[in-house]
Structure 1
Amino acid sequence: MPFVRITLSTDRPEPMRAAVAEGVRSALVSALGVPPDDRFQIVDAQPASAFHVDRHFLDGDRRDPVVVEITLTRGRTREMKLALYQAVVANLSEAGVRPDDVLILLRETEREDWSLGGGKMQLLDEDLIRKYGWSPAQD
């Protein structure tokens, strides 16, 4: 159950914002096997002046950043993470975002670090997560 926050410029029109959100969701499904209906995203549009990003750090060419922050439970391999990054960039490119403008931050947490309402630790409830076709070892 990844949680995604996408921050981009208000200069990007609403249809593009929706396409970016869908591109990230699709990448999570294809690269990590996240269930297609497992979608928890916030799209936050900020004025371009709110972005203070080094345009050329590590040989980049950033002009209009789209910041994708993904929080999920631990357990993905390096190869899975790279596949996710590549899928996000490919999908966002199709939505009109330049590859160098895609910044991805992946945060891994423990299952006990999640409460999905009601003050409960649903990801530790093995019967509940099995009900939704998940195993205790996957998202």
Structure 2
Amino acid sequence: MPLIRIDAIEGRSKQEIKDLLDAAHRAIVSAFKVPLRDRYQVYHEHPESNLIAEDTGLEIPRTRNLVIVSVTSRPRNQDSKLAFYASLCYELKQSCNIDPGDVIVSIVTNSDFDWSFGNGQAQFITGEL
């Protein structure tokens, strides 16, 4: 936890996907101060015609490198979220040559009762985590 889902236009190689997921993980670890093995990621590709992301009138250019990053997490403060946005864009630019304009992020917050990491238990509630 947090759980990261990345939606992108199809066509990246296995190595490019690995680099992208690694970059996203570095950003989460840095900004949210989670342990290295706290890694839950899903990467999903879409045909170009099935992924539309305009710019809300902000005139942000988008390319085929577009990634939409959805994060589900326990509550995080504003500074942590802002640090994540900046760190993610930096990591993706450095590791994957994805421009910041091609990075859209949404963070959804939930509570300790909303997580089970296996075995039919709510580990945040049972005290295992």
Same fold (TM over 0.5): yes
Aligned partners of 1:47 and 1:55: how far apart in 2? 19
Q: Is the 8 A contact 1:16 1:96 kept in 2?
A: no
State the partner residue of 1:66: 67
Residue type matched to 2:71 in 1?
I
State the partner residue of 2:124: 123
Residue type matched to 1:115 in 2?
S
Query: The residue matched to 1:119 in structure 2 has which SS?
Result: coil
Aligned partners of 1:86 and 1:57: how far apart in 2? 21
State the partner residue of 2:100: 99
Aligned partners of 2:16 and 2:97: how far apart in 1? 7
Q: Which 5+ residue runs of structure 2 have no aligned equivalent? A: none
TM-score, normalised with respect to structure 2? 0.91
Identity level (%): 28
Residue type matched to 1:54 in 2?
E
Residue type matched to 1:23 in 2?
A
Aligned partners of 1:59 and 1:81: how far apart in 2? 23
Which residues in structure 2 correspond to 1:19-30 (within 5 Å)?
19-30=19-30
Matched, 1:31 2:17: no
Residue type matched to 1:104 in 2?
V
State the partner residue of 2:6: 6
After TM superposition, the structure 1 stretch with the greater mean CA deviation from structure 2, 46-55 or 1-10, is: 46-55
TM-score, normalised with respect to structure 1? 0.85
Query: The residue matched to 1:25 in structure 2 has which SS?
Result: helix
Aligned partners of 1:98 and 1:11: how far apart in 2? 17
Aligned partners of 1:49 and 1:103: how far apart in 2? 18
Q: By how many angstroms is 1:111 displaced? A: 0.6
Residue type matched to 2:53 in 1?
V
Query: The residue matched to 1:38 in structure 2 has which SS?
Result: coil
Q: By how many angstroms is 1:6 displaced? A: 0.8
Q: By how many angstroms is 1:58 displaced? A: 2.2
Equivalent pairs, count: 127
Runs of 4+ in 1 over 6 A off after TM superposition: none
Q: By how many angstroms is 1:20 displaced? A: 0.9
Residue type matched to 1:79 in 2?
D
Q: By how many angstroms is 1:14 displaced? A: 2.2
Q: Is the 8 A contact 1:10 1:45 kept in 2?
A: yes
